[in-house]
Protein backbone atom coordinates (compact mmCIF):
# COMPACT_ATOMS: atom_id res chain seq x y z
CA UNK A 1 0.00 0.00 0.00
CA UNK A 2 1.17 3.47 -0.70
CA UNK A 3 1.12 6.28 1.82
CA UNK A 4 -0.56 9.65 1.54
CA UNK A 5 1.60 12.73 1.51
CA UNK A 6 0.63 15.75 3.59
CA UNK A 7 -0.22 17.64 0.41
CA UNK A 8 -2.53 14.93 -0.89
CA UNK A 9 -6.11 15.36 0.23
CA UNK A 10 -7.88 12.35 1.69
CA UNK A 11 -11.07 11.53 -0.18
CA UNK A 12 -13.69 8.89 0.45
CA UNK A 13 -12.67 7.39 -2.88
CA UNK A 14 -9.04 7.12 -1.79
CA UNK A 15 -10.12 5.40 1.44
CA UNK A 16 -12.40 3.09 -0.59
CA UNK A 17 -9.50 2.13 -2.85
CA UNK A 18 -7.14 1.56 0.07
CA UNK A 19 -9.65 -0.64 1.90
CA UNK A 20 -10.30 -2.69 -1.26
CA UNK A 21 -6.55 -3.13 -1.76
CA UNK A 22 -6.06 -4.04 1.92
CA UNK A 23 -8.75 -6.74 1.75
CA UNK A 24 -7.57 -8.10 -1.60
CA UNK A 25 -3.94 -8.43 -0.47
CA UNK A 26 -5.07 -10.53 2.50
CA UNK A 27 -7.71 -12.52 0.61
CA UNK A 28 -10.32 -11.08 2.95
CA UNK A 29 -12.91 -10.26 0.29
CA UNK A 30 -14.73 -13.49 1.10
CA UNK A 31 -15.23 -12.30 4.69
CA UNK A 32 -16.40 -8.83 3.71
CA UNK A 33 -20.09 -9.53 3.21
CA UNK A 34 -22.54 -6.69 3.89
CA UNK A 35 -23.73 -8.31 7.12
CA UNK A 36 -20.21 -9.00 8.41
CA UNK A 37 -19.11 -5.47 7.65
CA UNK A 38 -22.19 -3.99 9.31
CA UNK A 39 -21.54 -6.00 12.48
CA UNK A 40 -17.88 -4.98 12.43
CA UNK A 41 -18.98 -1.35 12.07
CA UNK A 42 -21.34 -1.63 15.03
CA UNK A 43 -18.54 -3.20 17.08
CA UNK A 44 -16.29 -0.25 16.28
CA UNK A 45 -19.04 2.20 17.25
CA UNK A 46 -19.08 0.37 20.59
CA UNK A 47 -15.31 0.82 20.96
CA UNK A 48 -15.73 4.52 20.14
CA UNK A 49 -18.50 4.81 22.73
CA UNK A 50 -16.30 3.22 25.39
CA UNK A 51 -13.90 6.13 25.14
CA UNK A 52 -16.63 8.54 26.24
CA UNK A 53 -18.35 6.16 28.61
CA UNK A 54 -18.59 7.42 32.22
CA UNK A 55 -16.86 10.71 31.40
CA UNK A 56 -20.07 12.75 31.42
CA UNK A 57 -20.26 15.66 28.99
CA UNK A 58 -16.85 16.80 27.76
CA UNK A 59 -15.97 20.21 26.29
CA UNK A 60 -15.46 20.62 22.56
CA UNK A 61 -11.86 20.18 21.48
CA UNK A 62 -11.27 17.87 24.47
CA UNK A 63 -8.81 20.31 26.11
CA UNK A 64 -8.30 18.18 29.24
CA UNK A 65 -7.59 14.90 27.45
CA UNK A 66 -4.15 13.32 27.38
CA UNK A 67 -2.51 13.03 23.96
CA UNK A 68 -2.67 9.26 24.24
CA UNK A 69 -6.46 9.42 24.68
CA UNK A 70 -6.81 11.62 21.61
CA UNK A 71 -4.70 9.21 19.55
CA UNK A 72 -6.93 6.36 20.68
CA UNK A 73 -10.02 8.42 19.79
CA UNK A 74 -8.60 9.05 16.31
CA UNK A 75 -8.03 5.33 15.86
CA UNK A 76 -11.58 4.37 16.81
CA UNK A 77 -13.10 7.17 14.70
CA UNK A 78 -11.02 5.82 11.82
CA UNK A 79 -12.20 2.26 12.39
CA UNK A 80 -15.80 3.45 12.16
CA UNK A 81 -15.14 5.48 9.02
CA UNK A 82 -13.19 2.71 7.29
CA UNK A 83 -15.85 0.06 7.93
CA UNK A 84 -18.54 2.49 6.78
CA UNK A 85 -16.60 3.19 3.58
CA UNK A 86 -16.01 -0.53 2.99
CA UNK A 87 -19.65 -1.43 3.69
CA UNK A 88 -20.81 1.24 1.26
CA UNK A 89 -18.40 -0.04 -1.41
CA UNK A 90 -19.46 -3.65 -1.01
CA UNK A 91 -23.12 -2.58 -1.25
CA UNK A 92 -22.45 -0.56 -4.41
CA UNK A 93 -23.28 2.75 -2.77
CA UNK A 94 -21.30 5.87 -3.69
CA UNK A 95 -21.03 7.16 -0.13
CA UNK A 96 -19.82 10.63 -1.08
CA UNK A 97 -22.70 11.21 -3.48
CA UNK A 98 -25.22 9.70 -1.07
CA UNK A 99 -23.99 11.89 1.79
CA UNK A 100 -24.10 15.07 -0.31
CA UNK A 101 -27.63 14.20 -1.40
CA UNK A 102 -28.61 13.64 2.24
CA UNK A 103 -27.30 17.07 3.23
CA UNK A 104 -29.49 18.57 0.49
CA UNK A 105 -32.52 16.57 1.65
CA UNK A 106 -31.93 17.71 5.23
CA UNK A 107 -31.66 21.34 4.11
CA UNK A 108 -35.14 21.04 2.60
CA UNK A 109 -36.47 19.22 5.66
CA UNK A 110 -34.99 21.81 8.01
CA UNK A 111 -35.36 25.24 6.38
CA UNK A 112 -33.16 27.84 8.12
CA UNK A 113 -36.06 30.23 8.53
CA UNK A 114 -38.08 27.69 10.51
CA UNK A 115 -35.34 25.83 12.37
CA UNK A 116 -32.57 28.24 13.28
CA UNK A 117 -31.68 27.91 16.95
CA UNK A 118 -34.29 25.23 17.59
CA UNK A 119 -33.43 21.67 18.60
CA UNK A 120 -36.83 20.22 17.81
CA UNK A 121 -37.21 17.42 15.27
CA UNK A 122 -38.70 18.24 11.87
CA UNK A 123 -41.92 16.36 12.52
CA UNK A 124 -42.65 18.04 15.85
CA UNK A 125 -45.58 20.43 16.04
CA UNK A 126 -43.37 23.53 16.01
CA UNK A 127 -41.39 22.19 13.03
CA UNK A 128 -37.96 22.77 14.57
CA UNK A 129 -34.91 20.52 14.48
CA UNK A 130 -32.58 18.78 16.87
CA UNK A 131 -29.32 19.34 15.03
CA UNK A 132 -29.25 15.74 13.86
CA UNK A 133 -29.12 14.39 10.34
CA UNK A 134 -31.23 11.34 11.07
CA UNK A 135 -33.83 9.99 8.64
MG1 LIG B 1 -11.32 -0.31 16.99
93 in Cβ contact with 106 (< 8 Å): no
Compute φ and ψ for 49, nearest 5 degrees: -65, -35
CA–centroid distance, 87 to ligand 1, in Å, is 16
CA–centroid distance, 89 to ligand 1, in Å, is 20
Q: What is the mean pLDDT of residues 98-112?
A: 96
Burial 93-113 (b: 16+ CB within 10 A, else e): eebeeeeeeeeeeeeebbeee
Kindly report the pTM of this predicted structure. 0.84
Name the burial class of residue 11, with classes exposed (0-12), middle (13-18) and buried (19+) by CB atoms within 10 angstroms of its CB.
exposed
> Residue 6 gets which letter from DSSP?
T
CA–centroid distance, 11 to ligand 1, in Å, is 21
Look at residue 128 and tell me whether its pLDDT is greater than 90.
no
CA–centroid distance, 75 to ligand 1, in Å, is 7
95 in Cβ contact with 12 (< 8 Å): yes
User: Each residue of 20-72: pLDDT tens digit?
Assistant: 999 999 999 999 999 999 999 999 999 999 999 999 999 999 999 999 999 99
CA–centroid distance, 79 to ligand 1, in Å, is 5
Look at residue 126 and tell me whether its pLDDT is greater than 90.
no
Amino acid sequence: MTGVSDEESVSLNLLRQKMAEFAKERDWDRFHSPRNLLLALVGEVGELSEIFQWKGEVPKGLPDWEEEEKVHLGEELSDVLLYLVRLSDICGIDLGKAALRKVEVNAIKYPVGMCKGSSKKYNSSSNGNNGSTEN
